[in-house]
Chain A
Amino acid sequence: MLSLLLLLYWTFTKIGLFTLGGGYAMIPLMEAEIINRYGWLTAPEFLDILAIAEMTPGPVAINTASFVGFRVAGIAGSALATLGVVTPSLVILLLLGRFLQQLIRNPHATLFLKGLHPAVIALICLAVFSLGQEALTDLTTALIAAVFLAVNLMRKLSPFLIIGLGALLGLLFFPY
């Protein structure tokens, strides 16, 4: 149990450390570690947790960490996973606080960061690809994803509305 808790903490510390740009940028790494590496969740379960994270207040990374931690090891797991996500931010900002201004103005750091951004975009596209294969199981789900994406690109809708409509369509068209 103790080693599982430590593993949770360490995994979410890694996820916090390699999250850049916030929000959905941490999904690829979560997918790689939580689904593919440790099998703590299946891909559909992961998508369900993202939906819950989106519908509850607070940063998505915190919500997801709390949920996965609870699922794997109860309240203690939840607390350690959440602390894990927080740790890199705290350590970096507290220890480097004063130097960060200069550090991010350093030309090499700027170039490195400029290369990281395309990598993050590439990874999110990959996550769309792999999670899409799990979520789009038939024509109905493929249509839901396609229509929502098209509409959202034309006119940005609230995630609440999109998830709510998805739930409604699910109730209507689920192959009971």
Chain B
Amino acid sequence: MHQATTAQEETRARVSLLSIFWVFLKIGAFTFGGGYAMLPIIQREIVERNQWTDFKTFSTFLVITQSVPGTLALNCSIQIGLHLRGLPGALLATLGVILPPFAIILLIAAFFLPVYQGNVYVQAVFYGIRPAIVALIASAAVSLGRQLLSGRASIVLAAALFLIALLCNLHPIAVMLAGGLAGLVLFRKEAP
């Protein structure tokens, strides 16, 4: 037990800030599709390939990643950076993950926006892509619902919040706070 801890401490001290930045730069540059698609790739890079943490530590990061606000990939990367090299590690991991998408989007925006409005073929392409995106968001609602809604009470709560928000035109933040407060009351009995 003691030996294992020392071994891990040693790995932790060996990881240079530059390699943290580099690994997260790769993650930012080559993973598509956001959150749930990125987490397994982060796991492969950090736990399997570089062995910077064991799986147990990584899974505690995953729990926190999904329980605190923010982008999933980012929450996970910040915790790993922090774990390896404290504040500088966390900042470099963040910078690594956001730099490639930021740069790529700037390039696309600079070249794409000028042709975006005038070109009829670009408009035709997006005419077909828009309903595809709506379908993607709708499937995300279904799969996230299957994953997060457990039990009748949470399904009823989701339906009720949907109707109230639709009818009263509530701001999303108000809907979330209402949901959280309703959770405190509704799920109290289920709690152990």
With known contacts A70-B106, A142-B131, A128–B64 Cβ distance under 8 A? no
Is the CB–CB distance between B135 and A162 below 8 Å? yes
Stretch at the interface among B9-17, B46-54, B139-147: B139-147
Interface: B162 (CB within 8 A) = yes
Residues of B within 8 A of A71 (CB): 109, 113
* Cβ-neighbour of B70 out of A78, A92, A124, A129 (below 8 A): A92
Q: Is the interface of A mostly helix, strand, loop or mixed?
A: helix
Interface: B115 (CB within 8 A) = no
Interface: A8 (CB within 8 A) = no
**Smallest CB separation, A95 vs chain B (Å):** 11
Is the CB–CB distance between A58 and B98 below 8 Å? yes
Q: How large is the interface on B (under 10, 10 to 19, 20 to 34, 35 or more residues)?
A: 35 or more
Interface: B134 (CB within 8 A) = yes
The docked-state distance in angstroms from the alpha carbon of A90 to that of B78 is 7
**Would you list which residues of chain B between 79 and 109 have a CB under 8 Å from chain A?**
79, 82, 87, 90-91, 94, 97-98, 100-102, 104-106, 108-109
A-B contact count (CB 8 A): 370
- The 9 closest A-B CB pairs, nearest first, are A115-B183, A170-B128, A58-B101, A119-B179, A166-B132, A22-B35, A89-B70, A174-B124, A22-B72
Binding site for A on B (CB under 8 A): 28-36, 38, 60, 63-64, 66-75, 78-79, 82, 87, 90-91, 94, 97-98, 100-102, 104-106, 108-110, 112-113, 116, 120-121, 123-145, 148-149, 154-155, 157-159, 161-162, 165-166, 171-173, 175-176, 178-184, 186-188, 191
8 contacts between A and B (CB under 8 A): A17-B70, A47-B133, A48-B116, A57-B100, A97-B79, A111-B187, A167-B126, A170-B124
Known: A58-B98, A61-B71, A104-B64; 20 extra A-B contacts, CB below 8 A, are: A19-B70, A21-B66, A24-B141, A55-B32, A56-B104, A58-B29, A58-B100, A60-B33, A66-B102, A70-B110, A70-B113, A78-B105, A86-B74, A89-B71, A118-B157, A119-B157, A122-B159, A167-B129, A170-B126, A176-B124
